[in-house]
């Protein structure tokens, strides 16, 4: 039997085990997929020493912290600086990134032929790295918002007037994710209207407070569920390539 899994913390919200195990059942694949919540990334070596994995997904907060534990990075992970897929082959662990593919495909389905004047990316963690890589590939200009002024625009400087420079806002932070559903990024929601596209990488709950604020103001909104499906399909392709 082949063994797959996902590492991160927390993982009670994770969709991946049920999706992959159902895929294995339908396709007759002799494999299992489990969640492995790690309190600290330093627990990773013991995990992979104990179980002979064929592949692992990586989620918040370890997409960047996992890199020193890997033998190499493929071009996608090198370009992004974050890993969400680990392939095990010939005794080596290689980091890949399928988030860029998943986000890019989902975003194009979302905005269609609409013109994006400029995107605003909320957050500067590992997930944001995939988002800005996809935006760069699509030729979409962007700014990043962070609690750290050195990494982008600070939230305190993001006024209603400043928000008018953008029409696509992407939340890459965990704010609003289950079980902390009463939180949201601190942006001037009163400035939003029907001209805005709001994309939240979170998929549980279906409508975060971030998206709900947009819906109340006529924004077009999308959560991260479709992106998750696309990146999972890409991960399966990576694990099974020759």
pLDDT of residue 152: 76
Residue 13 pLDDT > 80, yes or no? no
Cβ neighbours for 203, distance < 8 A, ≥ 6 positions apart: 15, 223, 224, 225, 227, 228
Residue 76 pLDDT > 80, yes or no? yes
The single residue of 23, 26, 63, 234 carrying the catalytic annotation is 63
Q: Can 63 be counted among the known catalytic residues? A: yes
List the chain domain ranges.
2-97, 100-226
Q: What is the pTM of this model?
A: 0.90
pLDDT of residue 149: 65
Considering only the top CATH level, what class is 100-226?
A: alpha beta
| Intrachain domains 2-97 and 100-226 with the same fold | yes
pLDDT of residue 150: 63
Give the Cα-Cα-Cα angle 10, 14, 204 (nearest 5 degrees): 95
Q: Tell me the per-residue pLDDT of 115-173, one tens digit each, with 9 for 90 and over.
A: 999 999 999 988 899 999 999 999 999 999 988 766 678 999 999 999 999 999 999 99
Considering only the top CATH level, what class is 2-97?
A: alpha beta
Q: Tell me the per-residue pLDDT of 182-225, one tens digit each, with 9 for 90 and over.
A: 999 999 999 999 999 999 999 989 999 999 999 999 999 999 99
Of the candidates 123, 81, 124, the residue with the CA atom closest to the CA atom of residue 99:
81
């Amino acid at each position: 039997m082949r063994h797959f899994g996902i590492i991160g913390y927390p993982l009670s919200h994770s969709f991946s085990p049920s999706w992959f195990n159902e895929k294995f059942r339908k396709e007759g694949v002799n494999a299992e997929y489990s969640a492995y919540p790690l309190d600290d990334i330093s627990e990773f070596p013991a995990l992979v020493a104990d179980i002979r994995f064929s592949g692992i997904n990586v989620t918040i907060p370890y997409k960047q912290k996992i890199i020193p534990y890997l033998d190499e990075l493929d071009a996608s992970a090198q370009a992004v600086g974050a890993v969400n897929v680990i392939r095990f082959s010939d005794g080596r662990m290689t980091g890949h990134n399928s988030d860029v593919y998943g986000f890019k495909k989902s975003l194009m389905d979302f905005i269609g032929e609409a013109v994006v004047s400029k995107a605003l990316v909320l957050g500067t963690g590992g997930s944001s790295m995939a988002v800005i890589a996809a935006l760069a590939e699509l030729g979409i200009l962007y700014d990043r918002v962070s609690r750290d002024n050195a990494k982008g625009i600070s939230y305190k400087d993001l006024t209603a007037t400043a928000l008018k420079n953008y029409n696509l806002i992407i939340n890459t932070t965990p704010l609003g994710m289950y079980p902390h559903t009463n939180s949201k990024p601190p942006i001037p929601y009163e400035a939003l209207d029907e001209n805005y596209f709001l994309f939240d990488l979170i998929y549980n709950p279906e409508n975060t407070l971030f998206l709900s604020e947009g819906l109340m103001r006529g924004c077009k909104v999308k959560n991260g569920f479709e992106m998750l499906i696309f990146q999972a399909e890409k991960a399966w392709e990576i694990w099974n390539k020759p």
